Every structure is written in C-alpha cells, then in structure tokens.
Amino acid sequence: SEGANVLEVRGLVAGYGRIEALHGIDLAVGKGQLVALVGANGAGKTTLLRAVSGLIKASGSVRLFGREIVRDSADARVRAGLSQVLEGRQVFGPMSVQDNLLLGGYTRPERRDESLAAMYALFPVLKEKRLLAAGTLSGGQQQMLAIARALMSEPKVLLLDEPSMGLAPLLVREIFAVIARLKAEGIPILLVEQNAHAALSVADVGYVLETGRIALGGPAGELLRDERIKAAYLGL
C-alpha cells in the first residue's frame, strides 16, 4: 500500500536550463528496501538523485514518509531524513577522517558522540585512520568515509550515487558488502549504479532508466533474469 513507502516519486520532471533530462519518473522505496536504479551513461540516473535530494529543481512529487518535499531546499531535505552520497567520493582531502565525519553530523550535534561510535563500529578501518587526512586513504576507504559521513546525519533514506565507480574489483566487492550490511540494518537505500549486475544482486527492487524514462521495473531477481536486461546491461 502507499502508506508503506518511505520514499515515493511521482511524475518527476527535471533538467538543465531548457533541456529536460527526466520526463516523468515514478518510483518508490519501501520500508527497509534496497532499490537499484540502473541504466547507461547519460540516462539520467545522477539527475534523478539530484532532483530527489533537492540539488536541482524539479516538478512533480517527491514524498518522504508521505510528506511532500519537492519544493523544499536540499538542507531541509537532509533535516527531514534524506541523505545523499555524491558521485566520486567527495571527501575533504586535507581534513582528518574524523572531522569529515563530524561535518556529516552537523544537523544533529547532540548525537555526535553516539553517531561517531556507531560509524567506527561499522567501519573499523575509519577508526584506525581517524586522525589521518582523508586524502591519504585508498579509493575504497574514501568511499566508505563518504558513506559514513552521510550516515552521520542518521538518515531515514540513503541515496547512493555510483559507489563502485573507479574502484578495483576487490574494492567493488567490499563496497557492495557494506551496502548489504546497511540493508541488513534496515536503512532504506536508493542505489544508482552502472554496475547493473552487482546492484541488482543485492537489491530488492530494480528500475531501468533509459533516456529520462523508466523502461522497466520490478523485483531485482526478475530483472537479473530478464533477457532484455541481460543483453543491454549485463554483458551476457
């Protein structure tokens, strides 16, 4: 039922200047669900996440726990429980790992010590390296830091943009293990990935985005077996 959805997007239209990149997107993330959004380069995946998190303007509807947020600022959406990990693991290189995490927790200063302890329990390597400059971490560790920084605001929904991008295969597996752990903790996630096979393998539900439209959607296991998806996105 509608009330069970944590995040609900209806008829979402967004673009850049006069160029419309999304032509009316419908999708939903249910309680505790991991939803994967896959699609080719330029399909509009990043644009969709930006429109949901408020980094670009959009029309249509974005509801968080039933409340309309499509006209709210990005900051208001973070405060309402929506947190985005941007593409390209954008950590602050010269700042320490710990200070990067504390920045992520700015909306909840009263929860600072608890949130920090929770992140160090989830990512022991970040605790080990907490006093080092974030820029000295490996690519995979920087991605973990970017995810942990987003989690510091104790989001009710996490938006993840291409977390495996540019990582070596071993680190890609590590990042997907982290995503599976977040799912096990019950955090609803909207995951954007070009690595369609890995994303659909951990997801509950999947959507395929093609030139600004949802071309297919359904249980992730079914999409993995779908011949059209195998041919177009799984390299099979």
> By rule CB under 6 A, what string of x and - marks binding of each residue 96-115 to ligand ATP?
--------------------
What lies within 8 Å, CB to CB, of 3 at 6+ separation is: 66
Minimum gap (Å) between residue 55 Cβ and ligand ATP: 11
Choose the stretch contacting ligand ATP; rule: CB under 6 A; options: 40-48, 68-76, 169-177, 200-208: 40-48
- Judged by DSSP in three states, 109 sits in helix
Residues 125, 178 contacting (CB under 8 angstroms): no
**54 interacts with ligand ATP by CB under 6 A:** no
What lies within 8 Å, CB to CB, of 133 at 6+ separation is: 93, 94, 95, 96, 97
- Judged by DSSP in three states, 125 sits in helix
**7 interacts with ligand ATP by CB under 6 A:** no
Decide whether 16 or 109 has the Cβ nearer to ligand ATP.
16
What lies within 8 Å, CB to CB, of 54 at 6+ separation is: 69, 72, 73, 74, 76, 77
Residues contacting ligand ATP: total by CB under 6 A:
12
Decide whether 136 or 211 has the Cβ nearer to ligand ATP.
211
Contact with ligand ATP (CB under 6 A) among 6, 39, 51, 174:
39
Decide whether 43 or 119 has the Cβ nearer to ligand ATP.
43
Minimum gap (Å) between residue 229 Cβ and ligand ATP: 16
Contact with ligand ATP (CB under 6 A) among 7, 33, 35, 45:
45
Instruction: Identify the CA nearest to 202 among candidates 217, 210, 216, 190.
Output: 190
- Which 9-28 residues touch ligand ATP, going by CB under 6 A? 16, 19, 21
Going 71 to 189 to 152 to 55, the CA torsion angle's sign is negative
Decide whether 116 or 203 has the Cβ nearer to ligand ATP.
203
**41 interacts with ligand ATP by CB under 6 A:** yes
Decide whether 39 or 206 has the Cβ nearer to ligand ATP.
39
Measured between alpha carbons, how far is 129 from 223 in angstroms, rounded to an integer?
39
3-state helix, strand, coil in the chain (%, to 5): 40, 30, 30
Question: Interface with ligand ATP by CB under 6 A: which residues?
Answer: 16, 19, 21, 39, 41-47, 194
